[in-house]
Amino acid sequence: MAKKINNTSNNRFLKFLLVFFILIAFYTGYEVFYPQAIPNKNYQLVISKGDNLHKVARKLSKASLIAYPRLFIIVSRLTGKDTKVTAGMYILAKPMSMFDIIQRITNGKPDEIGITILEGWNFKQVRNVLYSESQILHLTESMSDQQIRERLKIDAPSMEGLIYPATYFIAPNQSDLEIMQNGYKMLQDKIGDVWSQRNQQSQVKTSYELLTLASLIQKETNDNDDMVLISTVFNNRLKIGMRLQDDPAVFYGLNNKPRITRADFAIDTPYNTYLHSGLPPTPICMPSLTALKAAAMPKLESNVLYFVAIGKGKTKFSSTYQEHSKAVNQYLNK
């Protein structure tokens, strides 16, 4: 009798498990395959280069396009789509299931391609990243920098610094020249705004000089507060006619070769700010908006003239050479 009761209980438990798994399978199938309305009409999903599957899942969940980020990741991996996510902008309008979204962002055909130009890059690096993008037209590949300036009608001695660092979204088969043109226009807008905000301590005479100074600041640090103080040092030096002695400018003049020795600082190039007074003839990289603002707005009441990197992205500032020498011995020689 007891054995019959146990068998009945086991049968009920197995039936319960079967019903439970059927419900789970049905609900999972619903979440994965049933189209859901897009909460915001024509939602723009931006996937940047370097975004991993977890970050994409979080974006979709935050936008209420999927309910379960972990399920999205599992399905992507089970279908072999997890390594095929294509960076770009996707305009989602019609109702889509989770599976539809996975298919959409892994088919290699975004509505717009996102190309990121990073602050601190030089123009050679910008050209390299454009060459590496297979979905755009490469009109500039055989052009010199001068020919590019002529096509874009840019009146400047160099393309260096003239592309604003940002992510640009373009349709497939648009050209690299269009991206450069958009970047140049954006830079002109940014620098125009900053130029009007410069303070009385700023020593630059033109917006191009402002751009050049900002590029030196950009290569010295990524710390926003230190950018302002480095700008103060450079502006103070320009004010009294003291040479800038900026190492990144020297490196740029030597084509950023990987190994620099003490003897290289004696090589005379237009960018050797140890040998020549004032600013170098052109920018040395693409500066950020923060660096542009720092160049235009140094501290008004500060007599700092020296700085040295002390590690962890921070900088030590000094007003006298004696203080600076002490800082060099304390931090740099370590």
Q: DSSP for 144-193, please give it.
A: -HHHHHHHHT--SS-STT-S--SEEEE-TT-BHHHHHHHHHHHHHHHHHH
pLDDT at 27: 66
Rounded to an integer, the average pLDDT of 276-295 is 97
Rounded to an integer, the average pLDDT of 27-37 is 77
Identify the three-state secondary structure at position 96: strand
**Res 175 pLDDT > 60:** yes
pLDDT at 117: 95
Rounded percentage of the chain residues whose pLDDT exceeds 90: 60
pLDDT at 5: 56
Residue 165: both structure tokens together: 């660092």
Rounded to an integer, the average pLDDT of 200-226 is 96
pLDDT at 291: 98
Q: How many CB atoms lie within 10 A of CB 293?
A: 22
Top-confidence residue, 82 or 4: 82
Rounded to an integer, the average pLDDT of 66-94 is 89
Question: Quick one: pLDDT band at residue 2, thresholds 50, 70, 90?
Answer: low
Gap between the Cα atoms of 292 and 315, Å rounded: 19
Gap between the Cα atoms of 182 and 257, Å rounded: 30
Question: Quick one: pLDDT band at residue 260, thresholds 50, 70, 90?
Answer: confident
Q: How many helices (H) and strands (E) does the chain have?
A: 12, 6
pLDDT at 128: 96
Top-confidence residue, 178 or 9: 178
Question: Quick one: pLDDT band at residue 9, thresholds 50, 70, 90?
Answer: low
pLDDT at 4: 54
pLDDT at 334: 57
Ordered by start, the domain boundaries in the chain are 31-109, 113-192, 198-332
Question: Quick one: pLDDT band at residue 50, thresholds 50, 70, 90?
Answer: confident
Rounded to an integer, the average pLDDT of 305-317 is 85
pLDDT tens per residue, range 53-70 = 999 999 999 988 898 999
pLDDT tens per residue, range 95-138 = 999 999 999 999 878 888 889 999 999 999 999 999 998 878 99
**Res 282 pLDDT > 70:** yes
Top-confidence residue, 16 or 42: 42
pLDDT at 292: 98
Gap between the Cα atoms of 98 and 133, Å rounded: 28
Question: Quick one: pLDDT band at residue 7, thresholds 50, 70, 90?
Answer: low
Phi, psi of 137, rounded to the nearest 5 degrees: -80, 135
Question: Quick one: pLDDT band at residue 330, thresholds 50, 70, 90?
Answer: confident
DSSP tag of 264:
G
Mean of all residue pLDDT scores within the chain: 89
Dihedral sign for Cα atoms in the order 138, 142, 144, 149: negative
Decide if 191 contacts 140 (C-beta within 8 A): no
DSSP tag of 237:
H
Q: Which residues lie across from 46 on neighbouring strands?
A: 89
pLDDT at 48: 79
pLDDT at 109: 83
CATH fold of 31-109 reads Dna Ligase; domain 1 (3.30.1490)
